[in-house]
Every structure is written in structure tokens, then in C-alpha cells.
Structure 1
Amino acid sequence: MELGPINSTDVEQVAAFLGAQLRSGVSAAAWSAAMAQRWVDDAPNHGFLLRRGEEIVGAYLAFYSEREIDGRVERFCNLGAWCVLEAYRSHGLRLIRAMLAQRGYTFTDLSPSGNVVALNKRLRFTSLDTATALVPNLPWPTPSRGMTITSDPAVIGAALSGRDRQIFHDHQTAAAARHILVTDGDESCYIILRHDRRKRLPIFGSILYVSNPGLFHRAAPLISRHLLVRHRVLATLAELRVVSRRPPASIMLRNPRPKMYRSDHVAADQVDYLYSELTSVAW
């Protein structure tokens, strides 16, 4: 049984393995494209794999990025899809141990499921506060009061500047990222969301990033209508840590999906959902 990093020469075989073994609706081509999304030139790998002979029997994807936090550059490793064939499950822990053995990273797991949450806790991961409000998107006419909203990439790219422009540039080809820009005079709010499923219903949109929470809430009716009409999102899932406060006329979810991270020096409020599987893989 061979344990090793997923290198560029392994991408197509790993993508085929994930496409065949995971019941996520994500094709091998989509997994390959996600692994091709590189945000740092010196990323050490695409994760780790288990191989028996010539056959891949397990894989754990990783997405690497760098952020400036409190004036210093922090390196992040987002843990992505984890899949091991049933006959080799006893070797699965070797994958995560290899991942976490990489020094100098803040690790995030933004879609842990089942027993992974309990395992992560044993591995010193901390749960993020994912309190989530569900906002029905309604088709009522909404006066814009001078506000504008667009999902046109050309318009958004030309209007953004600074950090938001870099975020937009980095996520233009990320398969799951949907971009929206609201403007009100000299103010703007850049929003990234992804289409999401709940109980197999693909009618939800999860907010991943909001640059200006104040304007986001003032423009809430306009955004709600835009998501319904333009993106076919019947309801928005808004984590309070992302949008800053509970939107009006919303319902708090009883069991929001968990998200976790592990770091010796990055605080929970400094962890975001960009540069991750959430923006790169549309399931």
C-alpha cells in the first residue's frame, strides 16, 4: 500500500476515482477542473492518495491559499473530498495524518460529514459558529432607490478594486462561485454564493462572502428578487458570521451544517469560505 502526494500527473486518475466512487453528482471532468484551480504557485500537492499497485484506492483533496491577516501572510489548506474504498478504510487515517503533518498551515474542513466531525474534534479541530438563517426569496416588485445589482462578470470585474478585485479574479473560473455586485452611489457590496442542496432539493443559495454587510442588509429585497429571477434560488442560506446579523423575515435553521478549522494562531472570525472546495466544486 503506497501513500503519497497527489501530483499533477495523478490528477486525471484521481478525478476518475472520485467521479466513480462518490455519489455527489460531480463528474470526473469537474473534479479534474477543481484540482486545476491553483491559488498559490508553490502549492505542495493536490492532497494525498493511497495506491495499491497501479490502482488508486483512496484520495483526500486539498486546496491551498494564502491570506494577509493582521499584517502577516497566513497559509491555508482546505480539506476537500475524502474517499477510500471500503476494503481499505483501515488505511484512511494515513491520508489525514499526512495532510496534517504539513507544517505552517491553518487547516479548514468546510463540509465535514458523518463521523468526520467527531474525528476532527479528536484531531484538535474547532467548530465554527455556523448559525444560519433561511431567507425565502420572493418575486415582489422592489423599489431600488437608486441601487443597482448585476451578475455580469465584465461589469463586476471593472467595478471592483483592491482586495475584492483580487478575490473576483481568483474565483472567476471556480465552478461553484456565483458573483453579484450591488452598488448604491459610491458604495458597493460584492457577494459570492454557491447553489446548494437541502434534502436533495437544488433550490438554495449559500452566501460565502459579503464585502459590505451594511449595504447587503439595506439591499436585501433587491438581492432576494435578483437571486430568485436571475439565479433561480428559491431560498438563501445566510450564516450570521458571514452576513453579520440575522436578516428580517428569516428562519433560523435548527441543525446548520458544521464547518471546522485547526490553527495555532488564526482566530475563528478570521476564517472565511473563499479559496476552498465550497467555491471550486459544484455538487
Structure 2
Amino acid sequence: MAVLGALPSDLRCRPICEADWEGVVDCLCRGFPERDRSYWIQALTRLSQRPAVAEFQRYGFALEKADRIVGVVLTLYSRYRGQDGDEIRCNLSSWSVDAEFRPYAAMLVAKVLRRRDVTYTNISPAPATLKANWALGFRPFSTGQFAFLPALNSAPRSCRGLEVRPDLAEMAMLSDSERYILSEHAALGCLSLICICDGEAFPFVLMPRRTLRGLIPCFQIAYCRSLTDLAQCAGALGRFLLRRGILLCVVDAKEPIAGLYGWYRPNRGLKYFKGPRPPSLGDLTFTELVLFGP
């Protein structure tokens, strides 16, 4: 990766617009040959349907030479409302630059990383980009994954898991922002659940995945308030998932998780952030995983 400098006069970095979709998809197909065009068209379509966040770019940035797109980085911006005020996150995704222009690849990402009040994430870094990630100031917020069998956890019969639907009365037990997260992710094909334990409601979003070379169906935890909540509700989650024939779940972690039966896999699913506040473990909301698919 070259040291950042000025772009050549015939090469420019600019925001992506809808008129660029064909060139963007061509570039992404060259960079990620394992993905077909329909995957990237769906990705851009879903980005177009997301609400705009302030003045931030809807799609991302492109490197262009002679009216041909030779590099792309997609940006997935989301606004989070918390007790300490609003927070903006940007998931950088699908960073791809044609081989002859890779000395300028870091400049493409640096174009995005200008706001110190935004938390940037990279949840699927290619091994070849790890050094560039560190050079750009990214640091890991998850260093492994924990695979667990929630059905092995016991839970009182009063604890139960409920699938989210518009008329579910228990939705009123959650905050506005959590109701929004559950509803939006259910529409994206995730399994959104509320666990009721000891009269308290706990929200969860689970993303369907397959593991062991695609042979075993499982769920990745895409949202929970905390890993402590996950352990507390694991038994209720396990009973719910068992009725669907699912035994295995996976969650991002830095170490084994107390209260869950499973195994920690270090250096799996590394995830990086740059900015004022790292996402909590178990929070992959509105990232490429759920918007674009695994």
C-alpha cells in the first residue's frame, strides 16, 4: 500500500451516484469474483432504500479514470439513539480497487475517514488489507467468535422467546430505537425475537448462517444489549430455536463467555473500528452482514 499522496490528474475520487451502478457493479465483480452481479445489485438497491443520514453519502466513493470506475468503497451509515445522545456509525464495505490502481486504494478509504465524531467499522477485512487497516487507525473490537448451544442452558418456564410481529404487545416493553431495530431487521430476513424473563423484555436479532463448509445451519447474533443478557436468555432462545431445528449460534467475542455452553475460536471473524465508540460485542445492526447478506 503506497504512502498517501496526491492523485494523478487523470484519476479522481468522487461520491457514487445511481447513474454509476453499472460501473460500480462491474468493479465489485472484478474484485470479488465469488459474488455474482445479482448480489451487488441487491446490495445497492438496499442502500438506496435506507433513510439518508444527515449529509453523509448514501452509497460511498469511487475511483474514476477516463469515465471508468476502477475502485469502490461502499459506506453504510446509520444513526443510533442512546442515553448519551445520537451516535453515527459507518460500516465500510466492499473495498475493491483494480490492480494497477491499488497504490491509491488507501486514499479511497481516507476520503471517508474525515469525521472524528463518526465511528467507522470494518467487519469483514480481507487479509491483504489488514496492514492498511492499522495504518488508517483501525483497531479490533472483536478478536474471535464464540460458538454455543443455547438449548443446553436451563431457563424457568416463565421465560419465553417471542418472534416479533407488528401486533406483538410485548414490543411496548422496549425503547423506540429497539423496536425500530427489531422491525427493520425482520424485514431484512433476520429473526427478531423478544425474550421475556422475570417480567423484563430483552431484544435479540439473529442472522441465519451456515457453518462447517455450509453444512450446518446456525444463527449469528446480530443484536443483543450485552453478552450478559445473551447468557441470561440463552435457555429461552434455545427452546425457541430448537422448535426450528437449530442447535448452534455464534456471537463475536474476545474470550469465552461465562454462562454459555460452547467454545471460543480466536482469530475468527475479526472486526475493526475507528472512532470515538466501538460497537458492543453482539451488535452488527445495519452492517453489510444483514443488509447485503453473508
Fold match by TM threshold 0.5:
yes
Aligned-residue offset at 1:254: 3.2
Aligned-residue offset at 1:76: 1.8
Aligned-residue offset at 1:80: 1.1
* 1:211–1:129 distance in 2 versus 1, CA, 3 Å: closer
**Structure 2 CA distance for aligned equivalents of residues 52 and 240 of structure 1:** 41
Is the aligned partner of 1:222 residue 2:231? no
**Structure 2 CA distance for aligned equivalents of residues 72 and 4 of structure 1:** 31
Residue aligning to 2:161: 149
Specify which of 210, 223, 229 is matched with residue 209 of structure 1: 223
Equivalenced residue count is: 278
Aligned-residue offset at 1:59: 0.8
Is the aligned partner of 1:276 residue 2:290? no
8 Å Cα contact 2:144/2:252 also seen in 1: yes
Specify which of 9, 14, 18 is matched with residue 28 of structure 2: 18
> For residues 27-80 of structure 1, what are the alpha-carbon distances to aligned partners after superposition, in whole Å with 9 as ceiling and x for unaligned?
233222332242444342111112233332221000112224552323222111
* 1:75–1:214 distance in 2 versus 1, CA, 3 Å: closer
Specify which of 108, 115, 127 is matched with residue 128 of structure 2: 115
Find the residue that maps to 1:146 and give its secondary structure: coil
State, as a whole percentage, how many aligned pairs show the same letter.
Answer: 20
User: What is the one-letter code of the residue matched to 1:209?
Assistant: Y
Residue aligning to 2:63: 50
* 1:125–1:216 distance in 2 versus 1, CA, 3 Å: closer
User: What is the one-letter code of the residue matched to 1:33?
Assistant: T
User: What is the one-letter code of the residue matched to 2:64?
Assistant: R
Aligned-residue offset at 1:21: 4.5
Find the residue that maps to 1:179 and give its secondary structure: strand
**Structure 1 CA distance for aligned equivalents of residues 98 and 213 of structure 2:** 24
Find the residue that maps to 1:101 and give its secondary structure: coil
Find the residue that maps to 1:221 and give its secondary structure: helix
* 1:211–1:191 distance in 2 versus 1, CA, 3 Å: same
8 Å Cα contact 2:227/2:281 also seen in 1: no
**Structure 2 CA distance for aligned equivalents of residues 118 and 42 of structure 1:** 31
8 Å Cα contact 1:49/1:58 also seen in 2: yes
User: What is the one-letter code of the residue matched to 1:87?
Assistant: E
**Structure 2 CA distance for aligned equivalents of residues 218 and 209 of structure 1:** 15
Find the residue that maps to 2:270 and give its secondary structure: coil
Aligned-residue offset at 1:111: 1.6
> For residues 139-198 of structure 1, what are the alpha-carbon distances to aligned partners after superposition, in whole Å with 9 as ceiling and x for unaligned?
x8x8861333233433558624323113224434435x3312222363222111223354
8 Å Cα contact 1:125/1:262 also seen in 2: yes
**Structure 1 CA distance for aligned equivalents of residues 164 and 182 of structure 2:** 12
Tell me the TM-score normalised to structure 2 length: 0.78
Specify which of 179, 185, 192 is matched with residue 205 of structure 2: 192
8 Å Cα contact 1:37/1:174 also seen in 2: no
* 1:105–1:220 distance in 2 versus 1, CA, 3 Å: closer
* 1:213–1:44 distance in 2 versus 1, CA, 3 Å: closer
8 Å Cα contact 1:195/1:233 also seen in 2: no
**Structure 2 CA distance for aligned equivalents of residues 254 and 213 of structure 1:** 17
Correspondence list, 1:75-94, <5 A:
75-94=88-107
Specify which of 14, 19, 36 is matched with residue 9 of structure 1: 19
**Structure 2 CA distance for aligned equivalents of residues 50 and 217 of structure 1:** 45
Find the residue that maps to 2:222 and give its secondary structure: strand
**Structure 1 CA distance for aligned equivalents of residues 52 and 182 of structure 2:** 15
Q: What root-mean-square deviation, in Å, do the aligned CA atoms of Structure 1 and Structure 2 show?
A: 3.4
Find the residue that maps to 1:44 and give its secondary structure: coil
8 Å Cα contact 1:39/1:170 also seen in 2: no
Correspondence list, 1:27-46, <5 A:
27-45=39-57, 46=59
Aligned-residue offset at 1:250: 0.8
User: What is the one-letter code of the residue matched to 1:222?
Assistant: A
Residue aligning to 2:179: 165
Q: Which runs of 5+ in 2 are unaligned?
A: 1-10
* 1:217–1:117 distance in 2 versus 1, CA, 3 Å: same
**Structure 2 CA distance for aligned equivalents of residues 206 and 192 of structure 1:** 9
Aligned-residue offset at 1:110: 1.6
